Structure 1
């Protein structure tokens, strides 16, 4: 398949979705670098700042990352003194994460990252965005269903 076909066909959706994601992630990482934070660490802090104490297991599901990856991120945030990890009151086996005073202070100093979304999507017609969301939701649902069925891919 020629590169021109990839840029205009169904393969282009995956290509441009991936490129957009990585570009946004790179801008985010650049904005967070002065604070010694990575984007996934930011997402954990965001969750804790907006939703309060959260089970580590729930963050794994919410952020769609591996448990081992989450363990490393939590270890880093613990070492930096930004989060505490305590046993969950209802299930002592589960770990509950919460912001420390230092984590709350840092959260208040972080830049507002909505500029990334604005840079990417301002000026794009709302109907076009709605179509893109609908297409990506449908494709994602189909792929997740495929995984659930245990398809041999």
Structure 2
């Protein structure tokens, strides 16, 4: 007599509070990402940019001129993806590529004055969207969630 194959299957990910599946965290993060992405995409649409454009503008507004390789790493993009985003930003006059002194093959991406204007407008419309996303959280929980997600997304910072 063989054992029932169902008895060897661990609990399945359901996304409920009592879920013990090893996949639950990833699934919940994915659902939260979908929800956040949809809310922010809707907020950014009137400005003619997408979340991927906003992410690059945020990096170059914060860091200053940044090589594409570093932008790809900072935004979770690949080489081809970051090139498409920078191409889009250049076409719109929101960023420019400039030669890096000492290496003619490398280009740094720099935000333009129009890029700063659009970035600031995007930041202004993203704030209410982010507040709506967090509306169901209790006081203090948004800070906790932000801290935990930061630690989860940047594990190397804790190891150093």
Q: TM-score range by the shorter chain?
A: 0.7 to 0.9
Q: How does 1:1-153 map to 2 (within 5 A)?
A: 6-8=14-16, 9=19, 10=21, 11-112=23-124, 113-121=126-134, 123-124=137-138, 126=140, 130=144, 134=148, 137=151
Per-residue deviation at 1:41? 0.4
RMSD between aligned residues? 3.1
Structure 2: where are the runs of 5+ without partners? 1-8, 156-160
Give the distance between the partners of 1:109 and 1:128, measured in 2 at CA.
23
Deviation beyond 6 Å, 4+ runs, structure 1: none
Contact 1:57–1:94 (8 Å) recurs in 2: no
> TM-score, normalising length from structure 2?
0.71
Greater helix fraction, Structure 1 or Structure 2:
1
Give the distance between the partners of 2:85 and 2:99, measured in 1 at CA.
18
Alignment-derived partner of residue 5 in structure 2 = none
> TM-score, normalising length from structure 1?
0.74
Structure 1: where are the runs of 5+ without partners? 142-153
Q: How many residues align?
A: 142
Give the distance between the partners of 1:88 and 1:59, measured in 2 at CA.
15
Q: Per-residue CA shift, 1:20-73, capped at 9, x if unaligned?
A: 101101111111111110101011111122221111111011111111001111
Distance 1:35 1:139, change over 3 A: closer
Give the distance between the partners of 1:99 and 1:33, measured in 2 at CA.
20
Per-residue deviation at 1:133? 5.5
